[in-house]
Chains A and B, each alone.
Chain A
Amino acid sequence: GENVEQHPSTLSVQEGDSAVIKCTYSDSASNYFPWYKQELGKRPQLIIDIRSNVGEKKDQRIAVTLNKTAKHFSLHITETQPEDSAVYFCAASGDGGATNKLIFGTGTLLAVQP
């Protein structure tokens, strides 16, 4: 089955700097890759997603890149702000999209220092 690895587990940046979180997946047939943000004590919320037919997607300060050959995808946050501080989870559709479940990474705790 699908396995998703996420790095780093913690990331501390200065306000205004960029942050990059990387994930790798095992199933080359996976075709959907969302990113969720979870603030302390709150529910996970989708911030951006990408499908296997595109290599990059951007939404204001957030971008995601996908390298299907290497089976990895990354989240890029530019001009970080204190409110970006949260745990970020990557995920991949399991079993090449033939299933309905998402397999999540272990999360990255991002701390943006003012």
Chain B
Amino acid sequence: DTGVSQDPRHKITKRGQNVTFRCDPISEHNRLYWYRQTLGQGPEFLTYFQNEAQLEKSRLLSDRFSAERPKGSFSTLEIQRTEQGDSAMYLCASSLRRNEKLFFGSGTQLSVL
């Protein structure tokens, strides 16, 4: 068990481009979360998967954001037509049960120029 891994660690893109991030949770964890964190703020919930089903999505998440978790293993987060306001650290986390310890990945730092 090597923990939650995310790829890439850093992504620099131009405004208007599409980006995709990947998260590999701890293998036995069926719960997977995406959070976004900006400087000086706590992680902000984006979306939640249980196995392959996306069960929750933040109202703050615009339709430019989409996430998938095919086969209930790894997950991808895609941002279409990126905007400068999308610049943030995107964190993935997984857990075994609800209201138990979240294991976070190292995050993907997105910079939109």
Interface string of A94-113 (1 = CB under 8 A from B): 10010111111111000000
Once A42-B106, A43-B105 are accepted as A-B contacts, the answer to whether A99 and B56 lie under 8 Å apart by CB is yes
A51: Cβ under 8 A from any B Cβ: yes
Query: Quick one: CB contact mask for B55-74 with A, threshold 8 Å, 1 for yes?
Result: 11010000000000000000
Provide the bound-state CA to CA distance between A44 and B102, in Å: 9
Given contacts A99-B56, A101-B56, contact A106 B104 (CB under 8 A): no
Q: Mark A19-56, 1 if CB is under 8 A from B, else 0.
A: 00000000000011010100000111110010100000
Is the CB of B85 closer than 8 A to any CB of chain A?
no
Contacts of A91 in B (CB 8 A): 42
Within the complex, the shortest CB–CB distance from A81 to chain B, in Å, comes to 23
Chain B interface category by residue count: 20 to 34
Chain A interface residue number, banded:
20 to 34
Instruction: From the candidates A45, A93, A104, A105, name the one contacting B99 in the complex (CB within 8 A).
Output: A93
CA gap between A43 and B93 in the complex, in Å: 10
Residue from the list B33, B42, B55, B107 in contact with A107, Cβ < 8 A: B42
Say whether chain B's binding surface is mostly helix, strand, loop, or mixed. loop
User: Once the chains bind, are B42 and A89 in contact (CB under 8 Å)?
Assistant: yes
| With contact pairs A32-B99, A34-B101, A43-B91 given, residues A101 and B45 touching in the complex (Cβ less than 8 Å) | yes
Closest beta carbon of chain A to B44's beta carbon, Å: 7
Q: Is the CB of B56 within 8 A of A97?
A: no
| Contact present for B42 and A105 (CB under 8 Å) | yes
Flag if B50 contacts A100 (CB, 8 Å).
yes
Residues of A within 8 Å of B106, CB to CB, are 42-43
With contacts A34-B102, A101-B45 known, what are 15 further pairs, Cβ within 8 A? A42-B106, A43-B107, A45-B104, A89-B43, A93-B99, A97-B98, A99-B56, A100-B50, A100-B55, A101-B56, A101-B58, A103-B45, A105-B42, A106-B40, A107-B40
List 10 contacting pairs A-B, 8 Å CB cutoff, sorted by A: A43-B107, A93-B99, A97-B98, A99-B56, A100-B33, A100-B55, A100-B98, A104-B44, A106-B42, A107-B41
What residues make up the interface of B, taking CB atoms closer than 8 Å to A?
Answer: 31, 33, 40-45, 48, 50, 55-56, 58, 91, 98-99, 101-102, 104-107
